[in-house]
């Protein structure tokens, strides 16, 4: 078909495509969604569909691909996963009832950040669409987060782009809308913190846009700054454009204060493996070891609390009180938890109800959830503890939305279908009219059976069958051999291979009656369903309020269960400057890697006095584990949880910052160093006297002087200028000299026992710097040949005897230079030429890129060459 002469249907398609040029258009044609042109090519590639064309004789015609409508969900899911948006264009009337062309309309655009269907969502995580607003000079930065599936909208102003990145890393949105005025600069930075996120450029906002986007939320919007309002408008405008036919379920704008939370830098969030582990093992995260929540909303709440703990002492204590309550009343806790197992995702069901997407199954899930929630409320009300009202926010006349629950319970069958058109939604006794239609329908069916028997008797056609198909309706089927017995008044409808199909007046009348009853039944069912949905819509806010409370109880009870089972203690959180933990444990390592044999350790640092610990010890001794456990315990404490320790006293921390030396990323070479330096810069820029800094230099043994120099300068700056509480695990032994120079610095080491060159790790932290000589023992443990070990031990001695006295150590670059000048292989018996050869090899070696074991191996080779 030539361009410009589109059929009416293709004109509809062109109009829809023009309205939603950025989306893949799913265009409904009968039982299929069809994609045309570029969309078809894209779908063929992403979804493995076969390309066809509407008119096979015309190769110029635009390509086409299609999916059956009932399977569309899965295909849409795959497109979303790949980051595309999908516009769904539906037939707006029953083709059977329309003369001419069926009207079609885009009813919804689904994008990765605007998903509402459970099958495309993670139950235990929010699905955020973020909107960012950065005014020209970056002095005003704001972010809005919208989760349309739970109808939450939160807005915050942040101080700068770096703070924005922190907030984004915490929320891990699926999709971010960036103002087109935002420089590409931010885009690169964003890409580094939010992986797996779709970044979308969003056109500039006009004043009219704002008014339109914020409608219904004007009162809340009044409280926002200009930048916050623009960020909110950005997500709202986008969400409204994608849901052109429905009001958004959002009823309120919540503000959040990034400054009132413990900031966990994106790098710290990664290093500490809070919600994602570096190994990819889902179990090896802090979240997974404390997440014993039983409801989806509870799981989401726990996760967001973990990523944004509090800094306000009274609020932290209130959360702790809730946990305490459930630890004391263990019986009620377990009863509550068994009730909570019946609570489904009410939050998301309500949002779908508001978007008119809820299924009968959703309503049944809401019914069950309300019943279980009511049971939870009854349980907690029975608790005889004065703390209940305050710490669980349970009011004496808690609204359990009984009216809605009763209505749903009276109406729905136990397990209604996922699709309304499947019918069988309501209980028999629910609606007299529905019952009447049902009776008529049933009677009709019985009358058909009776008619069949009667006709068989009358005609003597024993094989006679009354049948029904959707296309032909009701008919009588007679096989060839019996055709002569067919009475004159039967009218022939259709000839088939082995017989004929007939009808007669009586059957037509009956069919008419049945079909009428069926139609009436169907429309009555849909009408009742609409009313039921309206009932829920009217109570949406009440259901949400209840859901929020149930989620908080779920979290408190889950944390209490963890505290009980794994022996966590309630930490004392205060506004002081000290951080003291007795018998602290790493919550993940104690459960997985070192289950049953974890060695607890204490920590005691104070920004006013002894604020930095420099921790040395052999590899594998447990330095990293110790550092991380202190940070994790602090995070747990400030999110309101109990902690794995026998006691803890935590002066509130404003920020956890970390830098972890690259351990094995040799391939990335320089960029690894860049990453480390960027993290260091970040630390020095943002750490305060309230911060907790974790520096973990995993020894790669490359002993770059830069590394040592930088580490030293950073530690000094942290101590003297920033005064942060800091734990510094290092393989630069020279750093232990700092303790002699600053009263705020203390040397600690992780002990190992060495006997006859054998090493055993005790994982216990002790006073003072570690002895240097463990390295060789560890090498032995790793199975290095004896000769190499012997030579290494001798070399070590030689190094230590070098003049590295007080003065040179204090300027840490010097002693290493001396070492370099050592003529390591100048044994007199070696002939000149071999000597030269070895020296040449040595010169060629890139020490910066040599791992410790490789170095030892090399040494062995060289030695062999010399002997």
Nearer Cβ to ligand ADP, position 309 or 617? 617
Nearer Cβ to ligand ADP, position 20 or 613? 613
Asked if 619 is part of the footprint of ligand ADP (rule: CB under 6 A), the reply reads: yes
Asked if 693 is part of the footprint of ligand ADP (rule: CB under 6 A), the reply reads: no
Provide the minimum distance between the beta carbon of 22 and ligand ADP in the complex, in angstroms, as a whole number. 47
- What residues contact 490, with CB distance under 8 A and at least 6 apart? 476, 502, 503, 504
Provide the minimum distance between the beta carbon of 626 and ligand ADP in the complex, in angstroms, as a whole number. 7
* Binding region for ligand ADP (CB under 6 A) out of 136-144, 465-473, 575-583, 618-626: 618-626
Q: How far apart are CA 684 and CA 162, in angstroms?
A: 13
Q: In what order do the strands lie in the sheet with 198-202?
A: 198-202, 175-179, 129-134, 141-147, 152-158, 254-255
Quick one: which of 732, 736, 772, 733 has its CA closest to 752? Answer: 772
Q: Which of 107, 387, 520, 594 binds ligand ADP (CB under 6 A)?
A: 594
Asked if 599 is part of the footprint of ligand ADP (rule: CB under 6 A), the reply reads: yes
Q: Which of 625, 638, 680, 737 binds ligand ADP (CB under 6 A)?
A: 625
Quick one: which of 95, 131, 128, 126 has its CA closest to 113? Answer: 128
Nearer Cβ to ligand ADP, position 19 or 762? 762
Nearer Cβ to ligand ADP, position 625 or 737? 625
Asked if 593 is part of the footprint of ligand ADP (rule: CB under 6 A), the reply reads: yes
CA 555 to chain centre: 17
Tokens of 731: 């393989």
Provide the minimum distance between the beta carbon of 269 and ligand ADP in the complex, in angstroms, as a whole number. 19
Q: 578 and 651 in contact (C-beta within 8 Å)?
A: yes
Binding positions for ligand ADP, 230-289, rule CB under 6 A: none
Provide the minimum distance between the beta carbon of 615 and ligand ADP in the complex, in angstroms, as a whole number. 8
Asked if 658 is part of the footprint of ligand ADP (rule: CB under 6 A), the reply reads: no
Asked if 186 is part of the footprint of ligand ADP (rule: CB under 6 A), the reply reads: no
Q: 111 and 80 in contact (C-beta within 8 Å)?
A: yes
Q: 571 and 649 in contact (C-beta within 8 Å)?
A: yes
Nearer Cβ to ligand ADP, position 752 or 789? 752
Asked if 621 is part of the footprint of ligand ADP (rule: CB under 6 A), the reply reads: yes
Any idea what DSSP says for residue 471?
T
Provide the minimum distance between the beta carbon of 728 and ligand ADP in the complex, in angstroms, as a whole number. 12
How crowded is residue 646: how many other Cβ atoms within 10 Å of its Cβ? 15
Q: Which of 67, 287, 532, 589 binds ligand ADP (CB under 6 A)?
A: 589
C-alpha distances out from residue 361 to 118, 368, 369, 413, Å: 12, 11, 12, 10
C-alpha distances out from residue 641 to 569, 590, 594, Å: 9, 17, 22
Binding positions for ligand ADP, 726-755, rule CB under 6 A: 750
Residue identified by tokens 């996963």 is 81
Adjacent-strand bridge partners of 63: 53
Residue 341: helix, strand or coil by DSSP?
A: coil
Q: Which of 199, 578, 620, 860 binds ligand ADP (CB under 6 A)?
A: 620
Binding-residue total with ligand ADP (CB under 6 A): 16
Asked if 371 is part of the footprint of ligand ADP (rule: CB under 6 A), the reply reads: no
Pairing of strands 692-696, 725-729: parallel
Nearer Cβ to ligand ADP, position 164 or 272? 272
Binding positions for ligand ADP, 763-822, rule CB under 6 A: 763
Tokens of 646: 């026998």
Quick one: which of 709, 705, 707 has its CA closest to 819? Answer: 705
Q: 289 and 636 in contact (C-beta within 8 Å)?
A: no
Provide the minimum distance between the beta carbon of 623 and ligand ADP in the complex, in angstroms, as a whole number. 3
Q: Which residue is nearest to ligand ADP (CB)?
A: 622
* Binding region for ligand ADP (CB under 6 A) out of 406-414, 523-531, 533-541, 616-624: 616-624
- Please report, to the nearest 10 degrees, the dihedral formed by the alpha carbons of residues 715, 717, 720, 721 taken in order: -150
Provide the minimum distance between the beta carbon of 582 and ligand ADP in the complex, in angstroms, as a whole number. 14
Provide the minimum distance between the beta carbon of 597 and ligand ADP in the complex, in angstroms, as a whole number. 6
Q: 248 and 236 in contact (C-beta within 8 Å)?
A: yes
Provide the minimum distance between the beta carbon of 568 and ligand ADP in the complex, in angstroms, as a whole number. 17
Asked if 624 is part of the footprint of ligand ADP (rule: CB under 6 A), the reply reads: yes
Q: 710 and 783 in contact (C-beta within 8 Å)?
A: no
Q: Which of 270, 303, 544, 623 binds ligand ADP (CB under 6 A)?
A: 623
Q: How far apart are CA 64 and CA 51, in angstroms?
A: 6
Binding mask 203-232 for ligand ADP (x = CB under 6 A): ------------------------------
Nearer Cβ to ligand ADP, position 44 or 662? 662
C-alpha distances out from residue 533 to 435, 528, 812, Å: 20, 9, 73
Nearer Cβ to ligand ADP, position 623 or 659? 623
Q: Which parts of this chain interact with ligand ADP (CB under 6 A)?
A: 589, 593-594, 597-599, 617, 619-625, 750, 763
């Amino acid at each position: 078909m030539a361009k410009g002469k589109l059929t009416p249907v293709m004109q509809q398609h062109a109009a829809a495509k023009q309205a939603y040029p950025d989306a893949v258009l799913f265009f409904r044609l009968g039982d299929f969604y069809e994609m045309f042109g570029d969309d078809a090519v894209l779908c063929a590639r992403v979804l493995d569909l076969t390309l066809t064309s509407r008119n096979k004789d015309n190769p110029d015609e635009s390509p086409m691909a299609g999916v059956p409508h009932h399977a569309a969900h899965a295909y849409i899911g795959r497109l979303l996963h790949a980051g595309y948006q999908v516009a769904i264009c539906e037939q707006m009337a029953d083709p059977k009832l329309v003369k001419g062309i069926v009207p079609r309309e885009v009813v919804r655009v689904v994008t990765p950040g605007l998903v509402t269907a459970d099958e495309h969502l993670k139950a235990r995580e929010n699905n955020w669409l973020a909107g960012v607003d950065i005014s020209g000079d970056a002095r005003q930065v704001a972010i809005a987060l919208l989760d349309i599936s739970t109808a939450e909208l939160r807005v915050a102003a942040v101080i700068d782009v770096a703070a924005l990145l922190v907030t984004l890393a915490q929320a891990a949105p699926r999709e971010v809308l960036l103002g087109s005025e935002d420089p590409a600069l931010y885009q690169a930075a964003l890409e580094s913190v939010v992986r797996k996120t779709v970044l979308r450029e969003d056109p500039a906002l006009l004043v009219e846009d704002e008014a339109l986007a914020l409608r219904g939320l004007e009162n809340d919007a009044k409280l926002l700054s200009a930048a916050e309002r623009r960020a909110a408008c950005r997500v709202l405008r986008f969400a409204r454009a994608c849901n052109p036919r429905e009001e958004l379920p959002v009823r309120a704008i919540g503000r959040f204060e990034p400054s009132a939370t413990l900031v966990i830098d994106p790098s710290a969030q990664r290093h500490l493996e809070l919600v994602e582990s570096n190994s990819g093992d889902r179990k090896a995260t802090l979240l997974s070891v404390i997440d014993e929540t039983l409801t989806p909303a509870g799981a989401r709440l726990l996760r967001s609390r973990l990523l944004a703990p509090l800094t306000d002492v009274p609020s932290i204590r209130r959360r702790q009180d809730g946990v305490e309550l459930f630890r004391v009343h263990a019986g009620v806790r377990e009863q509550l938890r068994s009730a909570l197992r019946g609570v489904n995702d009410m939050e998301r069901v309500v949002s779908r109800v508001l978007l008119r997407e809820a299924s009968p199954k959703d309503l049944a899930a809401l019914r069950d959830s309300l019943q279980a929630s009511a049971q939870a409320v009854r349980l907690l009300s029975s608790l005889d503890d004065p703390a209940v009202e305050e710490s669980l926010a349970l009011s004496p006349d808690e609204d359990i939305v009984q009216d809605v629950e009763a209505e749903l319970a009276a109406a729905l069958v136990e397990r209604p279908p996922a699709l309304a058109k499947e019918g069988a939604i309501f209980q028999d006794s629910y609606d007299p009219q529905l019952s009447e239609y049902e009776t008529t329908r049933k009677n009709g069916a019985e009358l058909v059976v009776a008619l069949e028997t009667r006709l068989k008797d009358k005609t003597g056609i024993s094989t006679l069958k009354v049948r029904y198909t959707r296309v032909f309706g009701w008919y009588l089927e007679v096989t060839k051999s019996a055709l002569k017995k067919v009475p004159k008044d039967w009218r022939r409808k259709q000839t088939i291979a082995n017989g004929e199909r007939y009808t007669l007046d009586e059957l037509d009348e009956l069919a008419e009656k049945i079909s009428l009853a069926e139609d009436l039944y169907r429309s009555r069912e849909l009408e009742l369903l609409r009313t039921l949905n309206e009932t829920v819509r009217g109570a949406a806010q009440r259901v949400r309020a209840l859901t929020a409370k149930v989620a908080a109880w779920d979290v408190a009870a889950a944390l209490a269960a963890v505290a009980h089972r794994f022996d966590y203690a309630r930490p004392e959180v205060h506004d002081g400057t000290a951080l003291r933990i007795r018998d602290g444990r790493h919550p993940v390592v104690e459960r997985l890697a070192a289950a049953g044999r974890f060695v607890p350790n204490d920590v005691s640092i104070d920004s006013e006095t002894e604020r930095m610990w420099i921790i040395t010890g052999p590899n594998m001794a447990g330095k990293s584990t110790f550092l991380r456990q202190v940070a994790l315990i602090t995070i747990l404490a400030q999110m309101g949880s109990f902690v794995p320790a026998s006691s803890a006293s935590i002066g509130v921390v404003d920020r956890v910052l970390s830098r972890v030396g690259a351990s094995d990323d040799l391939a990335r070479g320089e960029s690894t160093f860049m990453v480390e330096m960027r993290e260091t810069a970040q630390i020095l820029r943002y750490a305060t006297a309230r911060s907790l800094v974790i520096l973990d230099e995993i020894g790669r043994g490359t002993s770059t002087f830069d590394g040592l120099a930088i580490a030293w300068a950073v530690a000094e700056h942290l101590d003297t200028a920033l005064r942060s509480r800091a734990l510094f695990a290092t393989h630069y032994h020279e750093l232990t000299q700092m303790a002699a120079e600053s009263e705020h610095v203390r040397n600690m080491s992780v002990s190992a026992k060495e006997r006859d060159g054998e090493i055993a790790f005790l994982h216990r932290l002790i006073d003072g710097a570690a002895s240097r000589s463990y390295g060789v023992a560890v090498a032995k443990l790793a199975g290095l040949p004896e000769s190499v070990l012997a030579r290494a031990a001798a070399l070590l001695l030689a190094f230590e005897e070098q003049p590295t006295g007080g003065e040179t150590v204090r300027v840490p670059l010097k002693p290493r230079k001396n070492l370099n000048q050592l003529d390591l292989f100048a044994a007199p018996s070696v002939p000149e030429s071999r000597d030269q050869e070895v020296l040449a090899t040595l010169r060629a070696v890139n020490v910066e890129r040599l791992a410790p074991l490789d170095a030892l191996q090399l040494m062995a080779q060289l030695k062999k060459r010399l002997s």
